[in-house]
Amino acid sequence: MTPLLYILGVVAFVAAILASIGLHELGHMIPAKAFGGKVTQYFIGFGPTVWSRKKGETEYGIKAIPLGGYVKIVGMLPPDKEHDGRIEYDDHGNRVVRVRKSNTGLFAQLISDARAAEWETITAADESRLFYRMAWWKKVVVMSGGPTVNLLIAFVIFGGLFATYGNPADEVLHPTVNKVEACVVPAAEDGRVCRPSDPVSPAKQAGLEVGDRFVSFNGTPVHDWTDMQHLIRSNRNGAATIVVDRGGRQVTLHTNTMVTPRPTDDSDPSKLTPVGFLGVSPVVTYTTGGPLYTVQQMGWLAKQSGEALATLPVKVWGVAEAIAGVKPRAADSPVSVVGGGRLAGETASAQDFPLKEKLVSLLGLIAGFNFFIGLFNFVPLLPLDGGHIAGALWEAARRGIARLRRRPDPGYVDVAKLLPVAYVVASFLLVMGVVLIVGDLVVPVQLS
């Protein structure tokens, strides 16, 4: 592993994620301002401010902890019904904040305090620009703008890769020899150099060469790699007569396959089964496609991501168990930005890994993070963007129902009442983030 390349990989990944965060927040800010909303802050990161500059009514800046970002849109929370319609202002136009102490419980007081904090800086001039007063569809556009940008970033990267390099997740194995193993290495030690004690591979004994295309195996025609693989494995340690196409002419070769434990279950690569072994690797190509193909693949990926989200708490618990040493960390466990940076560094510094494949892997990693972040933010729970979108859609629905039933306008949806849910979700996200970051430092996911 080359330290300089490792650092460059980490820096490239972090820079790409920070750029994605910045574009995500622009996805919120630009439509908010276009609809007349007032945006007072645009920040990348959390915690202490490292740098900021005010332009117009908006302060732009960078904070110390690069794990997210935010824009402050004025008037996200409406006033409670006690004050709605008769907001008080002082002689300077600033709202007079009257915090009502609640005797109904902690959450009620938290809601009241949140409203007060929301309205502390609102002036009479801001009344027509408050977010909660926007039409429901404008709220949807503003709140969906951020995660939509992440999905568009993923689409552009995936689309470029699929159109040029191909899709590594949609590979085609051809019945043509790409590599001939010189010896038989145990599956657990796959990748190491041959030792004098290792037996010569049956493929080497037969005289197979790179570029040979399999025509038949023991008289059975071979149409694709799946056919060839099945014939080899089922042959156990029997004699093998192999016909190949070599440069336009057919060549007949003879050898004996041998039984050796190999991974045969794609869902569990650690499970080994004694099967027939020849010692060749097939030529692999990746399926290419345009925008429609990219949309189809992202749809499949969305389904996989939805299933992953449903099992996220269980998988995070698995990471916690790995930290405690109860069991090894699963290869498919979720990772934080820290884990993503480590994977990017290991990819960039990996030896015997062509530069082209390194770039493809890094771009795929960045696209994957953007895709997941975009989908995750559409989850209809506060404080995620999807929670505000759900509130706007509910507002549209109940106002539409009221019109159909000739009932009075029920007014704006009070998302402040869902703040207890937001606090619970935010607490879970905080705990999850800490567990994943610690896990990525203590028991990181390794490149396969």
One-letter-per-residue 3-state SS of 137-205 = HHHHHHHHHHHHHHHHHHHHHHHHHHHHCCEEEEEEEEEEEEEECCECCCHHHCCCCCCCCCCECHHHH
Alpha-carbon separation of residue 156 from 222, 367, 370 (angstroms): 38, 8, 11
Question: What Rg, from alpha-carbon coordinates, does the chain have?
Answer: 29
Residue 339 and residue 282 in one domain: no
Q: Report pLDDT digits (tens) over 372-426.
A: 999 999 999 988 999 999 999 999 999 999 999 999 988 888 888 888 888 889 8
Q: In the prediction, which pLDDT does 83 show?
A: 47
Handedness of CA 148, 150, 156, 162 (dihedral sign): negative
* 319 and 443 inside one domain: yes
Q: Is residue 270 part of a domain?
A: yes
Q: What's the CATH number where 276 sits? A: 2.30.42.10
Number of structural domains, the chain? 2
DSSP code at position 261:
E
- Average pLDDT in the 266-292 region? 88
CA pair distance 122, 116, nearest whole angstrom = 10
Is residue 184 situated within a structural domain?
yes
**pLDDT-wise least confident of 30-44, 99-113, 164-178:** 99-113
Is 178's pLDDT higher than 90? yes
Asked whether residue 438 is domain-assigned, the answer is: yes
Pick the last residue of a domain from 287, 302, 329. Answer: 287
**Confidence label for 86 from pLDDT (cuts 50, 70 and 90):** very low
120 is catalytic: no
Q: Is the pLDDT of residue 88 over 70?
A: no
In a domain, 1, yes or no: yes
* Residues 302, 283 within the same domain: no
* Residue 229 maps to a domain: yes
Between strands 239-246 and 249-256, the pairing is antiparallel
Task: Give the pairing of strands 167-180 and 280-287.
Answer: antiparallel
Indicate if 180 and 255 belong to the same structural domain: yes
Summarize pLDDT for 288-321 with one digit per residue, the tens.
999 999 999 999 999 998 888 888 899 999 999 9
Q: Give bridge partners of residue 61 from the DSSP assignment.
A: 43, 52
Cis peptide before 263 (omega within 30 of 0): no
Task: Give domain status of residue 88, yes or no.
Answer: no
* β-sheet bridge partners, residue 76: none
Task: For residues 280 and 428, state if they share a domain.
Answer: no
Average pLDDT of the residues in 267-273: 76
The helix or strand, by DSSP H or E, that contains position 276, with its residue range, turns out to be: strand 272-277
Whether 217 and 305 map to the same domain: the answer is: no
**For all residues of the chain together, what is the average pLDDT?**
88
Residues 297 and 418 in one domain: yes
Inside any domain, residue 34: no
Catalytic residue (choose from 25, 118, 181, 395): 25
* Statement to judge: residues 255 and 349 lie in one domain: no
257 and 195 inside one domain? yes
User: Same domain, yes or no, for 210 and 338?
Assistant: no
- Domain end residue (candidates: 287, 309, 337): 287
Answer yes or no: is pLDDT of 21 > 80.
Answer: yes
Rounded distance between C-alpha atoms, residue 256 and residue 206, angstroms: 8
Q: Domain residues for 187?
A: 173-287
User: Is 231 in the same domain as 377?
Assistant: no
Residue 152: inside a domain? yes
Pair (282, 294) in one structural domain? no
The length of the chain is: 448
pLDDT tens column, 412-436: 888 888 888 888 898 998 999 999 9
Domain boundary among 245, 266, 287: 287
Q: Which two tokens stand for residue 54?
A: 């005010």
